[in-house]
Structure 1
C-alpha cells in the first residue's frame, strides 16, 4: 500500500510541475508580446486583453489584443515582434 501511495504522489507532483511550467511559459510569452506591442506602437495607451490565436507547437504565432488607442478601443492582431498586422474598431 505504501508503494502505491508513493507512486501516485510522485505522479501527481510530476503533473503539477508540468502544468505550472507550461502556465509560467505561456504567461511570460504573452507579457513579452504585450510589452513589444506597447513599445513599437506609441499610440496604444492601454492593453485590456491578450490571447494567442495559435495552438501548442505551431511555428508562427499570432496574438489578438484589445487595446485603447487614441481614446478608442480596437481589436488588433500582431506577430511575436509586436507588429500590428490588422485592426478592427470595437
Structure 2
C-alpha cells in the first residue's frame, strides 16, 4: 500500500512540475513578444491581451494581440520578433 501511495504522489508531483514549467515558458514567450513589439512600435500605448496562433507542433509561429494605438483599439498579428504582419480596428 505504501508503494502505491509513493508512486501516486511521485506521479502527481511530476505532473505539477511539468504543468508549471510549461506555463512559465509560455508566459515568458508572451512577455518577450510584448517587449519586442513595444520596442519596434512606440506608437503602441498598451497591450491588453495576447495569444498565440499555431497548430500541433508549431507553437508560437504567430501572435494575436489586442493593443491600443493612439487611443484606438486594434487587433494586431505579430511575429516573434515583434514585426506586425496585419492589423484591424476593433
Q: What band does the TM-score fall into relative to the shorter chain?
A: over 0.9
1:17 aligned residue: 17
Instruction: Report the Cα offset of residue 59 of structure 1.
Output: 6.4
- The alignment's C-alpha RMSD in Å is 1.2
1:32 aligned residue: 32
Give the whole-Å Cα distance in 2 for the aligned partners of 1:41 and 1:70.
Answer: 12
Consecutive unaligned residues in structure 1, runs of 5 or more? none
* Paired positions, count: 90
TM-score after normalising by structure 1:
0.95
Instruction: Report the Cα offset of residue 24 of structure 1.
Output: 0.3
Instruction: Report the Cα offset of residue 57 of structure 1.
Output: 2.6
Give the whole-Å Cα distance in 1 for the aligned partners of 2:86 and 2:40.
Answer: 15
Instruction: Report the Cα offset of residue 56 of structure 1.
Output: 5.0
Give the whole-Å Cα distance in 1 for the aligned partners of 2:49 and 2:14.
Answer: 31
**SS in structure 2 at match of 1:28:** helix
Instruction: Report the Cα offset of residue 12 of structure 1.
Output: 0.2
TM-score after normalising by structure 2:
0.95
Consecutive unaligned residues in structure 2, runs of 5 or more? none
2:69 aligned residue: 69
